[in-house]
Chain A
């Protein structure tokens, strides 16, 4: 289950870049998140896993500022950003690749990237550098993205988020609706993205994919945290139990490998 990628995990020390404290989010009457906490340190790949409806996307969207929590706080780079608007968080360095990609369909590929770069922080990522990362893009930069395949659209969405030069990149269900080989290829870009100094917080339904890239993971089930730890420290059985909510004893026993709040 755990592979060599995880050994290079940066130690969880110093100040976290992003900290979520006891987040409670409601969708109308529905309680989507019930007191979720997490700490993401610079250079990490923090994965949130869980089944459909576990609240993963809600968590990410709340961090991005698209939902507002009823309780709890979000601290980014030492600043409380809980009440900050989504666009202000984006310019402060929190970029999100939203679920379903959400490209601008009437804009060309290059225009999509240029919109992402309009309010960019200064940093290594430019439209040209995105073309270097995804080499196919340059020749097709004047095409409308609506004519592109799912994997290509996903790459454009990642590029659009990168050109803003984020410090934290939120990736929501990259694998959704894509063929496994395409998912592999897109996740294969992750090391190059990380080497530019970006910290990644991702949400993934595909557990094996998440475990392959993550340095830290948390499993959600119906808005509650059921497991947290480093991939190397959790067993397949624990993940399975936490993911499906089977056997209260195993979920409870395996929930605190590192003594963090769960």
Chain B
């Protein structure tokens, strides 16, 4: 039963990892930006959430759309300024710029929020409760909610990309920037919209992480960025649903590793990550298109 438990918990954790990963995958797929500040931005979102609740005393659920909106605006602004300037100078520059951004954010958070751990208090008993199926299988409602959120986010992203005007433009710009210009599309603006959407998912990832455990200024690179990368690579670069597959595989591997020996949790995840890189470098869901 404990093995079943490990697998179920792993699958549910995979939802959180998919949330980490989908924004990273989207930005890479469209802008070819490997955003090394991705995890730190999720941490920023968690801190914004903590701050919004602390200052305005609004209920937790109300703070979520506010944080998503703030992060989306930040994403558009960052894309149109810093990231666009980096893209113009070449793909390698985007790595250096986002790496620098990551360091600036981490130290900024350390300065303002100290190195103490903080969590997001939801104030809801449902979120902190759990239910059990049979003996030894305890499932936290929070994990179920986050998994469902990840599925909803991926469905939403898929619908947005396949059916909306801007989704179509994002795919067109990802395919051929110049041809999109010839059709009258300002690719910089389209990139901005894409970044806004990606940052919206980053906000949800950061809040979800802040609810399941605690965040500190270094959580972004220590945990979120690495897991996001692993999920993206395992699932397949540029594939949206691949991030969920990758997240689940990573989550299950970690839980099974932990079942064998609690210290093997991270190791098992990265071993699977390396195995996929060796055996199937294109990822498990080998699709070359964006959505």
Contacts and interface: CB of A to CB of B under 8 A. Distances in A.
Nearest to A116: B183
Given A107-B168, A107-B172, A98 B289 contact: no
B179 A98 contact: yes
Given A107-B168, A107-B171, A115-B169, A102 B176 contact: yes
What is the size category of the interface that chain A forms with chain B? 20 to 34
Interface string A206-246: 00000000000000000000000000000000000000000
Given A115-B169, A118-B165, A118-B169, A107 B183 contact: no
A229 to B, nearest CB: 30
B182 interface: yes
A65 B185 CA distance: 13
Interface in A86-123: 86-87, 90-91, 95-96, 98, 102-107, 111-112, 114-116, 118-120
A111 to B, nearest CB: 6
Given A106-B175, A115-B168, A160 B181 contact: no
Contacts of A96: 182
Contacts of B168: 107, 111, 114-115, 118
- Residue picked from A85, A87, A96, A160, most chain B C-beta under 10 Å: A87
B91 interface: no
Contact of A115 (B178, B183, B186, B291): B183
Contact of B184 (A87, A106, A112): A87
Contacts of A98: 178-179, 182
Given A114-B168, A118-B169, A104 B176 contact: yes
What is the size category of the interface that chain B forms with chain A? 20 to 34
Contacts of A45: none
Contacts of A119: 183-185
A164 interface: yes
A130 interface: no
B73 to A, nearest CB: 23
Contacts of B179: 98, 102-104
B175 A107 contact: yes
A118 B182 CA distance: 12
B171 A106 contact: yes
A160 B290 CA distance: 21
A66 B183 CA distance: 12
Contacts of A102: 176, 178-179, 182
A203 interface: no
Main secondary structure of the interface of B (DSSP, over half): helix
B149 interface: no
A11 B289 CA distance: 49
A25 interface: no
A212 B165 CA distance: 40
A133 B179 CA distance: 22
B182 A90 contact: yes
B276 interface: no
B78 interface: no
Interface in A65-79: 65-66
A115 B172 contact: yes
A93 to B, nearest CB: 10
A111 B179 CA distance: 14
B42 to A, nearest CB: 28
Contacts of A64: 182
B180 interface: yes
A104 B183 CA distance: 11
A119 B168 CA distance: 13
Interface in A28-75: 64-66
Interface string B130-159: 000000000000000000000000000000
Interface string A116-148: 101110000000000000000000000000000
A235 B186 CA distance: 45
12 contacts: A65-B181, A86-B178, A87-B183, A90-B184, A96-B182, A104-B175, A105-B175, A106-B291, A107-B168, A107-B172, A115-B183, A120-B184
Given A87-B183, A102-B179, A118-B183, 11 more contacts: A90-B181, A96-B182, A98-B182, A102-B178, A103-B176, A106-B171, A111-B168, A115-B172, A115-B183, A118-B169, A164-B183
Interface of A: 64-66, 85-87, 90-91, 95-96, 98, 102-107, 111-112, 114-116, 118-120, 160-161, 164
Query: Would you list the 3 A-B pairs with minimal beta carbon distance, nearest first?
Result: A119-B184, A90-B184, A102-B179
